[in-house]
């Protein structure tokens, strides 16, 4: 079984508004608009002998909650580091903040389900 890799994932969601400054003034995306976002955080690792878990989901959720508070019902353009809040930038922003506190983090996916769009940042 040494060639098998164990991954766990935790989903989360938030609602936020944004606009794109680089679009022409008459472009609809240059105006403020909102989305319901969904995300998934994925970790990889070996289960701890004492718990059988890669990481306690409650601990993952606690770290995600700190970020969700910075994003939920906010204007993303005003969040430090998200001045140009594309899906790609948002996925990277989440990854960079969770990476130091979630050992084994290998991917962050951010989706806009109503638009059928997603961006994934993956280690390696």
Per-residue pLDDT tens digits for 86-117: 999 999 999 999 999 999 999 999 999 999 99
In CATH, the number for domain 7-122 is 3.30.479.10
Beta bridge partners of 15: 36
Which candidate, 37, 43, 45, 30, places its Cα nearest to that of 15? 37
Longest dimension (CA), the chain: 59
User: What residue ranges do the domains of the chain occupy?
Assistant: 7-122
Q: pLDDT band at 22, cuts 50/70/90? A: low
Which candidate, 118, 91, 119, 86, places its Cα nearest to that of 105? 91
Q: What is the pLDDT of residues 31-61, one digit of tens each?
A: 678 899 999 999 999 998 899 899 999 999 9
Known binding positions: 18, 33, 35
Known binding positions for Zn(2+): 18, 33, 35
Q: Is residue 4 pLDDT above 90, yes or no?
A: no
How would you class 111 by CB atoms within 10 Å of its CB: exposed for 0-12, middle for 13-18, buried for 19 or more? buried
Give the DSSP H or E segment for 93.
Answer: helix 87-98
Specify the long-range contacts of residues 28-34, CB closer than 8 Å, at least 24 apart.
Answer: 32/75
Which candidate, 44, 103, 98, places its Cα nearest to that of 71? 98
CA-to-CA distance for 36 and 70, rounded, in angstroms? 15
């Amino acid at each position: 079984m040494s060639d098998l890799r164990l991954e766990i994932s935790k989903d989360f969601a938030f609602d936020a508004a944004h606009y794109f400054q680089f679009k022409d003034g008459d472009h609809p995306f240059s105006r403020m608009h909102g989305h319901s976002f969904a995300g998934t955080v994925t970790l990889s690792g070996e289960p701890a002998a004492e718990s059988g878990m890669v990481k306690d989901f409650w601990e993952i959720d606690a770290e995600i909650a700190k970020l969700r508070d910075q994003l939920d019902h906010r204007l993303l353009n005003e969040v430090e580091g998200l001045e140009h809040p594309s899906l790609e930038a948002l996925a990277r922003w989440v990854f960079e903040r969770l990476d130091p506190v979630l050992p084994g983090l290998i991917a962050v996916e951010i989706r806009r389900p109503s638009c059928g769009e997603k961006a994934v940042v993956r280690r390696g």
